[in-house]
Amino acid sequence: MRRSQHRRWRNLQHRALRRLLAASAAHGFAAEEAAVTLVLHAFELNHAATAALATMARNRRAAAAIDIAVATAEYLNAHFRERVALADLAAHTGYSVFHRCRMLQARMKTSLSRYLDDLRLEAALEALLESDAGVMDLALEHGFASHSRFSKSVRRWCGCWPSEARRRGRGQRSRTH
C-alpha cells in the first residue's frame, strides 16, 4: 500500500471512530452504520492494493520473459556453430522448449529457428567475404546442415547465391579501399 493510501486509510479510521463514539450515545444504529462504512472502505482499499499487486506481478512476469529471451539468445549466440538440440536449450535454464520459443518470439519478434539461422548466416557471410574457403566448408563450419540450406538462406538474405554474394562483397570492398 502506498504512503498516500495508508494516510487516507488512517484518516478514514479516525473519522469513523470519532463518528462512532459521538453517535453511540445518541443513536444505537449510528455505531453500527459507522462500523459498516469503515469495513466497506477497508474493502475498497484492499481492492486497490490487490490491483496494484496484480500489476506488479504482471511486471515481474514481463521481466522474467525478457530474462528468458535474453538467456536463450545468449545461449544461441554462444553455440550457433554447433547443432543445437532443443533438449539442451531447455536444460540450460530449466524452462520448456515451448516456453522459451514463445518468449523469444514475443520479445525478439522472430522464431527460434529464424534467429539461429540469422546468427549462422551473418557469421558465414562474413567468413565468405574474408576467406577463400569453399561454400560447402563454410556452410558446415557455421552450423548449416547442408549446402542447399546455406544457399537458400543466402539467397533469402542477399537475393543472390553465395558465390555471387562473395563476388559482390569483394567488389564493393575493393572500391572502398
Distance, CA of 158 to CA of 150 (rounded, Å):
12
Q: How far is CA 107 from CA 27, 56, 65, 74, 111, in A?
A: 62, 19, 8, 14, 10
Give average pLDDT by consecutive 10-residue segment, the chain, 177 residues: 61 63 58 60 58 68 77 84 82 78 80 86 89 88 88 88 85 60
Distance CA 80, CA 127 (A): 15
Grid cell 540469422 — which residue? Answer: 118
pLDDT at 90: 78
Integer Cα distance of 162 and 155 in angstroms: 7
What pLDDT is recorded for position 24?
56
Helices within 80-143 (DSSP H only): 86-93, 97-108, 112-130, 135-141
Q: Please tell me the predicted confidence (pLDDT) of residue 22.
A: 63
Q: Cell 453500527 sits at which residue?
A: 32
Q: How far apart are CA 127 and CA 150, in angstroms?
A: 13
Q: Cα separation of 34 and 21, whole Å?
A: 10
For 160, phi then psi, to 5°, come to -150, 170
Q: Counting beta carbons within 10 angstroms of the beta carbon of residue 175, is it exposed (0 to 12), middle (13 to 18) or buried (19 or more)?
A: exposed
